[in-house]
Amino acid sequence: MFIGSLVALITPFRQGAIDYSTIESLVEWHIQQGTRGIVPCGTTGEAFMLTPEERMRVIETCVQAASGNVPVIPGTGAITTEETISLTQQAKIAGADAVLIVTPPYIKPSQEGLYQHYKAVHDAVEIPIILYNNPGRTSIELKHETVIKLAHLPRIVAIKDSSGDWARPLKTRYDLGPKFCQLAGDDTATVAFLANGGHGTISVIANIAPKACAELYEAWQLHDLTTVGRIRDQLYPLCDALFIETNPGPIKYAASLLELCSADLRPPLVPISAATSENIKRAMQTSGLFESFEQRIQ
């Protein structure tokens, strides 16, 4: 079971090249701050801007840095089933604990096509699979009925849901029970997701506020709703500001302000606008992130 705050890890670049030493530092820092899992090579990790060889080295770097302290769950989704199987096989060899597989972008397969896609990966590689439903990115919805069908395959163990339907975890829990893991793919949905039977979040904001994200889940486990509400309200300005422009531009800029990594992106992504930069700075100030950061890294 994957629970709590898992980070959708950014991929730091320096002059166009991947900064592997910074990846190591980020993973070690996240473990210290209470992050429950490392999720590299996803949307936030600019997976489709990486070559297959770069993806594998990023995964290997995360696995080595995590040293078994938390699971490493890389994104291995691709446009074709064949490439998805290949990336998933390589991720297993690299030491990944599970994989996150997004619905194939651009192709827009039918629901039966999605079922056969995931089943083919499931049958080809013995590794736990987390389904990733992100219709805003891929233009295809992984329907509830398809998730239920896929969940009967033994190695499909969870879903990351970025559909925006905050009632969906309740429906899925009703049909599949509490053992099927459900993870929010939207930081604004964390509390609603937990309240409706979810188990945690694959978080973008955790890249810059990992301790607060971890503490929110811990407070939820303790039924400390006062603390849950306080942290939720504290993080909301970040939830809003960090998605004004396309992810991961804003979160990498915010991370650069904290000197965690550079704000570099790979084309066709470009640096965020001056207006968005100012919005992010204000949100970080409002959330107390600048003031608390020194204590949080100690």
**202 contacts: CB under 8 Å, gap ≥ 6:** 6, 7, 8, 37, 39, 42, 100, 160, 183, 184, 185
Cα 276 vs. chain centroid, distance in angstroms?
Answer: 22
List % helix, strand, coil for the chain (3-state, nearest 5). Answer: 50, 10, 35
- State the Cα–Cα distance between residues 175 and 172, nearest whole angstrom: 5
Catalytic center residues? 132, 160
The letter for the amino acid at 145 is E
Token duo for residue 32: 């210290």
| DSSP one-letter string for 244-283 | SSSTTHHHHHHHHHTTSS-----TT--PPPHHHHHHHHHH
Residue 197 φ/ψ region, left for φ over 0, alpha for ψ in the -120 to 50 degree band, beta for the rest:
left
Helix (H, G, I), strand (E, B) or coil at 5: strand
